[in-house]
């Protein structure tokens, strides 16, 4: 009689230890080696989300708490606390994911809530850093980006292998970037927030469903769909960009970039659905996805595909909803 109970406790202990190790590693390693694997901190919400859903809030909070404490102690020991504090700003995103799952929120609603949680968390972090260092992080970022473009242009100019026509094209491209990056930087930052939330949300749902399909109430990623009225934000942004004077036109351009990012996520879900419908082997899907992410045209195409899905309904999700409503 006691054997299943003991086995259950043993499995929980193993899961807690694994969650602790993964979270501590994802928090600590980017803080120790920010130049090489600093990007790894963007995955901090994933182990938090997984532990809280797989083990439950009460048991899952134990490895989350202990992982944070271990990473903090090691970061203090190695003098890497400032970078760790930035990584800790992503922990609330994983908590927001789990709360939304327990409250049976949709994936889109969960992503929207987590986006605001991350935005607030980063706003507090960068505001505190600005007060502490008496600097403006946004202005500093603009200066560093401009310096990077100037340095890159100098490297091209010093290269004897480039033809004069090619070098002139590079100069024009860099000058355009120096003009437009300050104008579209808000959209770039918002898109980075959205991408961080989407990546952890989709990966978390995938891993949890691999563990047990009942752990989340959400469908597979290929069935995720934005609300149809969201397309009007694209229309409004396009009208502002094309018809209104600056600075409203730049506001419209930023809106178009953010909406394109969101519709890219939906376009990727459509691509996954079509590849699954056509029974494309997994080994062939990998280079297809790689080409999509490497080629700029692939990203633009998927964004457009995600937007026109409002009318085209490539995955026939609207028909499924209509049939369900008719049967009810």
- What is the rounded average pLDDT of the residues 152-171? 77
| Mean local confidence (pLDDT), 189-202 | 97
pLDDT confidence of residue 53: 96
Burial of residue 284, with CB atoms counted within 10 A of its CB: 0-12 exposed, 13-18 middle, 19 or more buried: exposed
What mean pLDDT comes out for the span 292-303? 88
- What band does 166 get if pLDDT is binned at 50, 70 and 90? confident
Predicted confidence (pLDDT) at residue 4 exceeds the cutoff of 50: no
Rounded Cα gap, residues 155 and 140, in angstroms = 23
The helix or strand, by DSSP H or E, that contains position 286, with its residue range, turns out to be helix 282-294
The percent of residues above 90 in pLDDT, for the chain, comes to 72
Instruction: Give the chain's end-to-end CA distance (angstroms, integer).
Output: 45
- What's the whole-number mean pLDDT along residues 125-132? 93
Q: Quick check: 133 pLDDT over 90?
A: no
**205-262 per-position pLDDT tens digit:** 999 999 999 999 999 999 999 999 999 999 999 999 999 998 999 999 999 999 999 9
Q: Find, among 84, 112, 85, the residue nearest to 97 by Cα.
A: 112
- CA separation for the pair 11, 17 (Å, rounded): 10
Give the pLDDT confidence score for residue 321 in this predicted structure. 52
Enumerate residues 6+ apart whose C-beta is below 8 A from 225. 108, 266, 269, 309, 315, 317
CA 193 from chain centre, in angstroms, equals 6
| Residue whose token pair is 């995938």 | 206
Give the model's pLDDT for residue 273: 93
How many other CB atoms sit within 10 Å of the CB of residue 114? Answer: 28
Per-residue pLDDT band for 185 (boundaries 50, 70, 90) equals very high
Judge whether residue 183 has pLDDT over 80. Answer: yes
Give the domain ranges of the chain. Answer: 219-323
Residue 288: CA count within 13 A, CB half-sphere: 13
What is the model's pTM?
A: 0.90
Structure tokens of 217? 């109430």
**What is the rounded CA–CA span in Å between residue 269 and residue 291?**
16
What are the tens digits of pLDDT across the range 250-296? 999 999 999 999 999 999 999 999 999 998 898 899 899 888 888 88
Do 203 and 46 touch, CB atoms closer than 8 A? yes
- How many other C-beta atoms are found inside a 10 Å radius of the C-beta of residue 62? 15
Residues 63-85 have pLDDT tens digits of: 999 999 999 999 999 999 989 99
Q: Is the pLDDT of residue 101 over 50?
A: yes
Residues 308, 309, 312, 318, Cα dihedral to 10°: -150
Percent of the chain past pLDDT 70, that is, above it, reads 93
- DSSP symbol at 244: S
pLDDT, position 318 = 72
Cα–Cα distances in angstroms (integers) from residue 272 to residues 83, 219, 222, 223, 262, in the given order: 36, 13, 6, 9, 16
């Amino acid at each position: 009689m006691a054997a299943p109970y003991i086995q259950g406790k043993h499995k929980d202990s193993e899961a807690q230890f694994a969650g602790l190790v993964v979270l501590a590693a994802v928090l600590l390693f980017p803080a120790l080696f920010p130049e090489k694997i600093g990007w790894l901190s963007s995955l901090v919400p994933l182990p938090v989300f997984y532990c809280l859903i797989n083990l439950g809030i009460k048991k899952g909070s134990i490895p989350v708490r202990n992982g944070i404490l271990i990473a903090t102690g090691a970061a203090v020991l190695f003098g890497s606390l400032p970078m760790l504090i930035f990584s800790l700003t992503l922990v609330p995103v994983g908590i927001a994911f789990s709360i939304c799952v327990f409250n049976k929120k949709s994936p889109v609603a969960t992503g929207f809530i987590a986006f605001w949680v991350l935005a607030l968390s980063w706003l507090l972090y960068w505001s505190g850093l600005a007060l502490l260092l008496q600097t403006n992080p946004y202005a500093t970022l603009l200066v560093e980006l401009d310096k990077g473009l100037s340095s890159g242009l100098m490297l091209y100019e010093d290269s004897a292998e480039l033809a004069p026509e090619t070098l002139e094209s590079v100069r024009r491209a860099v000058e355009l970037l120096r003009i437009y990056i300050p104008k579209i930087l808000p959209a770039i930052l918002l898109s980075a927030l959205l991408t961080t939330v989407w990546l952890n949300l989709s990966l978390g749902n995938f891993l949890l469903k691999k563990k047990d399909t009942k752990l989340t109430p959400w469908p597979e990623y290929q069935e995720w769909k934005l609300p149809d009225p969201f397309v009007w934000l694209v229309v409004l942004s396009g009208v502002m960009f094309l018809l209104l004077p600056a600075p409203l036109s730049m506001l419209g351009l930023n809106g178009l970039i953010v909406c394109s990012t969101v519709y890219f996520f939906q376009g990727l879900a459509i691509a996954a659905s079509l590849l699954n419908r056509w029974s494309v082997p997994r080994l062939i899907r990998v280079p297809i996805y790689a080409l999509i992410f490497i080629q700029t045209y692939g990203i633009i195409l998927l964004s457009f595909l995600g937007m026109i899905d409002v009318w085209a309904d490539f995955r026939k999700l609207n028909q499924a909803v209509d049939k369900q409503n008719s049967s009810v």
